[in-house]
């Protein structure tokens, strides 16, 4: 048996019990929860009454308290029983709680230090036989990235400080400039990331100055990628090194184009060898015919550098309607004509042309669409 010094030391005194009960009744919470709380208080009261029968010395006092508390709890139960329990509501703005959000992240199993000397997360045997990295140095190339991160996170070369060869270290590309460490020209403007930074251009913007010309093209044109330029006022030229190589080698009429245009010549023009069957055995043809595909506009000239002993030389343009002789300006062995539209351009020996056509004197200005024909002079 045990003794009780004060009835307030047993569980609750009368005043505390009533305070908790009324707090439960007046709380603006879930009615179901409040009803459960009141029932729990009823069980506590019943336990007090049971104790009062055991400890007869304090039974009268507990009996009075228990009776009053029982009445109060019963009133609270009756009040809550008449209310319908509302369905729990969720605010539209509230998102479902991810129960796994606060769970600790699963950690990778550590490798035995005897098997991973430098502790970079890669087995020594793999570093030696597979990756060729240093098993005793977690950052083999010293670029600031561990071998593990280079091989499994960023997919860079663990043995090279500059994986893409653009003169920027892998770590600087990732954490300083925001460029791609495995792509030498991140914005694909024809200028490497390192060169863009050297010239003050933006390696993440193809056209730093917003003038419609790619940064890489500006350097070829001789303009500044950081200064806005009106392309129509920029002199351009294409020739050896920028046109079809077959038009340079073994060609008696090498073409070149120069002048002004609202487009980039070496990017927007296509200059190729026109190797049609009808030209292959034409005795009047000098050199190779040229097919030019281009946008409209500009002030351009097409110049043929001719290596021929022919006394009379003419330049022609072939279209679907026919073959037109063009007005050519002669300067030594160079013949230049205005260029304003796409077509097939070629150089002819006028004397041999007359023979092919069976004519005497000057050849006509325009020729039929079927010309040149596959024929040789008789």
Q: What is the pLDDT of residues 65-86, one digit of tens each?
A: 556 655 655 565 565 555 555 5
Write down the pLDDT at residue 169.
Answer: 92
- Per-residue pLDDT at 377 exceeds 70: no
Per-residue pLDDT, averaged over 216-230, amounts to: 94
Query: What dihedral do alpha carbons 366, 368, 372, 375 form, nearest 10°?
Result: -120
Tell me the two tokens of residue 86: 């509302």
The Cα-based distances of 267 to 201, 211, 230, 264 in angstroms read 20, 16, 17, 5
Rounded to two decimals, the pTM is 0.58
pLDDT of residue 247: 93
Q: What is the pLDDT at residue 147?
A: 87
Confidence at residue 278, expressed as pLDDT on a 0 to 100 scale: 79
Which residues 6+ apart lie within 8 Å of 251 measured at CB? 287, 288
Residues of the chain with pLDDT > 70, as a percent, come to 66
Between these two residues, 48 and 297, which has the higher pLDDT value? 297
Taking CA atoms, 312 is separated from 250, 309, 351, in Å, by: 21, 9, 7
Task: List the structure tokens of 120.
Answer: 């970079």
pLDDT in tens, 106-159: 333 567 777 888 888 888 888 888 888 888 888 888 888 888 888 888 899 888
Give residue for tokens 């003169």: 167
Q: pLDDT tens digits for 283-316?
A: 899 999 999 999 998 999 999 999 999 989 999 9
Q: What is the pLDDT of residue 107?
A: 37
pLDDT score of 192: 96
pLDDT for 106 equals 38
Q: How many CB atoms lie within 10 A of CB 321?
A: 9
Q: Whole-angstrom Cα distance, residue 2 to residue 6? A: 13
Cβ within 8 Å of residue 10, ≥6 positions away: 4, 48, 51
Q: How big is the chain, counted in residues?
A: 378
Average the pLDDT over each of 31-35, 275-279, 331-335, 346-350 and give the range with the smallest value.
Answer: 31-35
Beta bridge partners of 343: 292
- Rounded CA-CA distance 103/145 in Å is 29
Among the ranges given (40-44, 168-172, 190-194), the one the predictor scored with the smallest mean pLDDT: 40-44
Task: Average the pLDDT over 208-224 and give the result.
Answer: 94
Please, which pLDDT band fits residue 57 given cuts at 50, 70 and 90?
Answer: low
| Cis ω before 372 (30° cut-off from 0) | yes
Residue 219 has pLDDT above 60, yes or no: yes
Q: Give how far the C-alpha of residue 294 lies from the chain's centroid of Cα atoms, to the nearest Å.
A: 31
pLDDT at 102 over 60: no
Looking at domain 236-367, its CATH class is mainly beta
The mean-pLDDT minimum among 30-34, 244-248, 254-258, 344-348 falls in: 30-34
Which residues, including other chains, have CB under 8 Å from residue 54's CB and lie 6 or more apart? none
Burial class (CB in 10 A: 0-12, 13-18, 19+), 252: middle
Burial of 214-244, coded b for 16+ CB within 10 Å and e otherwise, reads: bbbbbbbbebbbeeebebeebebebbeeebb
Q: What is the rounded average pLDDT of the residues 190-206?
A: 95
pLDDT surpasses 80 at 352: yes
* Top-ranked range on mean pLDDT: pick from 19-28, 55-64, 178-187: 178-187
Alpha-carbon radius of gyration of the chain: 47
The Cα–Cα gap between 352 and 107 comes to 85
**Cα-based distances in Å from 261 to 92, 298, 304, 314:** 59, 4, 20, 25
Min mean pLDDT across 108-122, 335-349, 363-377 is at 363-377
How wide is the angle at C-alpha 325 spanned by C-alphas 321 and 330, nearest 5°? 155
């Amino acid at each position: 048996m045990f003794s009780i010094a004060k009835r307030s030391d047993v569980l609750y005194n009368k005043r505390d019990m009533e305070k908790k009960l009324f707090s439960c009744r007046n709380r603006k919470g879930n009615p179901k929860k409040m009803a459960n709380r009141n029932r729990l208080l009823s069980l506590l009261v019943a336990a007090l009454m049971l104790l009062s029968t055991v400890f007869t010395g304090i039974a009268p006092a507990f009996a009075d308290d228990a009776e009053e508390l029982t009445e109060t709890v019963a009133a609270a139960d009756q009040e809550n029983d008449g209310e319908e329990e509302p369905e729990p509501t969720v605010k539209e703005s509230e998102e479902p709680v991810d129960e796994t959000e606060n769970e600790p992240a699963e950690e990778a199993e550590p490798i035995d230090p005897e098997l991973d000397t430098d502790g970079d997360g890669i087995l020594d045997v793999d570093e030696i036989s597979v990756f060729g990295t240093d098993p005793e140095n977690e950052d083999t190339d010293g670029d600031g990235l561990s071998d593990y991160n280079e091989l499994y996170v960023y997919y860079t070369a663990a043995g090279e400080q500059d994986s893409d060869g653009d003169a920027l270290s892998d770590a600087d590309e990732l954490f300083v400039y925001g460029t791609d460490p495995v792509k030498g020209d991140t914005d694909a403007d024809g200028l490497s990331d390192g060169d863009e930074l050297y010239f003050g251009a933006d390696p993440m913007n193809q056209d730093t100055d917003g003038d419609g010309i790619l940064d890489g093209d500006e350097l070829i044109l001789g303009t500044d990628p950081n200064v806005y330029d009106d392309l129509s006022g920029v002199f351009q030229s294409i020739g050896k090194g920028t046109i079809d190589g077959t038009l340079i080698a073994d060609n008696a009429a090498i073409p070149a184009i120069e002048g002004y245009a609202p487009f980039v010549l070496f990017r927007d023009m296509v200059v190729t060898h026109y190797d049609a069957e009808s030209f292959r055995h034409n005795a009047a043809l000098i050199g190779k015919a040229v097919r030019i595909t281009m946008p409209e506009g500009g002030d351009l000239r097409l110049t043929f550098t001719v290596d021929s002993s022919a006394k009379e030389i003419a330049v022609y343009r072939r279209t679907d309607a026919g073959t037109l002789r063009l007005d050519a300006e002669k300067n030594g062995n160079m013949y230049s004509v205005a260029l304003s539209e796409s077509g097939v351009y070629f150089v002819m020996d006028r004397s041999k042309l007359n023979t092919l056509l069976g004519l005497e004197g000057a050849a006509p200005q325009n020729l039929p669409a079927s010309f040149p024909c596959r024929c040789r002079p008789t």
